[in-house]
Amino acid sequence: MKEIIRADHSGFCFGVREAIAKAEAAVREYDKRIYSYGPLIHNKQVTDRLEKKGVRVIESPDEAECGAVVIIRSHGVGKRFYEIAEEKNWTLIDATCPFVARIHDLVRAADEKGEQVLIVGDANHPEVQGINGWCGNSAIIVGNSQTIPDMEAEHLFVVAQTTIPKRLFEGILEELKKQRKELSVNHTICSATENRQQSCMKTAQQVELMLVLGDRKSSNTKKLYDISKKYCNNTYFVENIEDLPLKEVEKCNRIGVAAGASTPECLIKEVIANMSENTLENNEMNSMDALMDE
């Protein structure tokens, strides 16, 4: 008899679950095309399903007409986007994760006081670009301790991208202290990422084979794969049910399952059911509710 161990923290985080619920509610409420500014989450299964229901992804505000219904995803956006929404008379479905919205408030208040904002994170990540948009794009953005620029400001108001590793944040704070900077530090890293990484590591240490479920484009899922591989060499990336390495699974008795913050519950259930030789009802697999069901 096989034992399947699911990592304690796996699958949708709170912010992603809320964003999908809001998109679903909008689909039910508005009888017209809905735009999502950027893909709602990094998972093709979910975005394809939403697209079939009329949610179209746009990359620029120019792509949505006046009076449109537009969803802001959990990464959030800068202040300018809200101004454009008003100018174009959009109905906004704001799915900015509350943890990200809190950073926007902090940054806006610091900027109003004339403080220099420093964001620890990836300058190309939409969340970081959105945060920067609350201080007139004047933030210093630092991705790692080797790339800290020379800075005139003596006092820095520091925030972190929600999904960066704690160790990276702490390393950069240490470097800034060595430069004798006066720091206002805001601990804005979200625990969802850390929790998923910790429980993936714990699970990988106990099993013969590990499955990491999610989209290959999802950076948090890729990170889980790297962590798992470190502790269980027999780790497989499963993007959809076809990727399930059944022959390998058959050889093992203790199998671990971890999933990124953007991996839908229906994939997790489908994979577990396949290994347990159970079958899910077709209508459960097809229901969007199954994406959120925990």
Local structure of residue 116 (DSSP, 8 states)? E
Q: Considering the complex, what minimum distance in angstroms separates the CB of residue 83 from ligand F3S?
A: 24
The verdict on 43 binding ligand F3S (CB under 6 A) reads no
The verdict on 157 binding ligand F3S (CB under 6 A) reads no
Q: Which of 61, 159, 60 is closest to 101 using CA atoms?
A: 159
Closer to ligand F3S by Cβ: residue 15 or 143: 15
Instruction: Please identify which of the residues 24, 127, 265, 270 carries the catalytic annotation.
Output: 127
Which of 35, 37, 99, 169 lies at the binding interface for ligand F3S (CB under 6 A)? 99
Closer to ligand F3S by Cβ: residue 68 or 133: 133
CA distance 192 to 61: 30
Place of tokens 């953005």: 141
Using the contact rule CB under 6 A, the part of the chain among 92-100, 104-112, 235-243, 245-253 near ligand F3S is 92-100
The verdict on 100 binding ligand F3S (CB under 6 A) reads yes
Which of 128, 190, 224, 232 lies at the binding interface for ligand F3S (CB under 6 A)? 190
CA distance 190 to 20: 19
Which of 43, 47, 161, 162 lies at the binding interface for ligand F3S (CB under 6 A)? 162
Residue-by-residue DSSP string for 172-232: HHHHHHHTT-EEEE-----HHHHHHHHHHHHHHTT-SEEEEES-TT-HHHHHHHHHHHHH-
The verdict on 97 binding ligand F3S (CB under 6 A) reads yes
Count of residues interacting with ligand F3S (CB under 6 A)? 14
Between CA 96 and CA 267, with CA 287 as vertex, the angle to 5 degrees is 75
Give the sign of the dihedral formed by CA 75, CA 78, CA 79, CA 83.
negative
Q: Considering the complex, what minimum distance in angstroms separates the CB of residue 66 from ligand F3S?
A: 29
Q: Which of 118, 103, 226, 105 is closest to 162 using CA atoms?
A: 103
Has 127 been annotated as catalytic?
A: yes
Question: Where on the chain is the footprint of ligand F3S (CB under 6 A)?
Answer: 13-16, 74, 97, 99-100, 162-163, 190, 192-193, 261
Give the residue numbers annotated as catalytic, written as ranges: 127
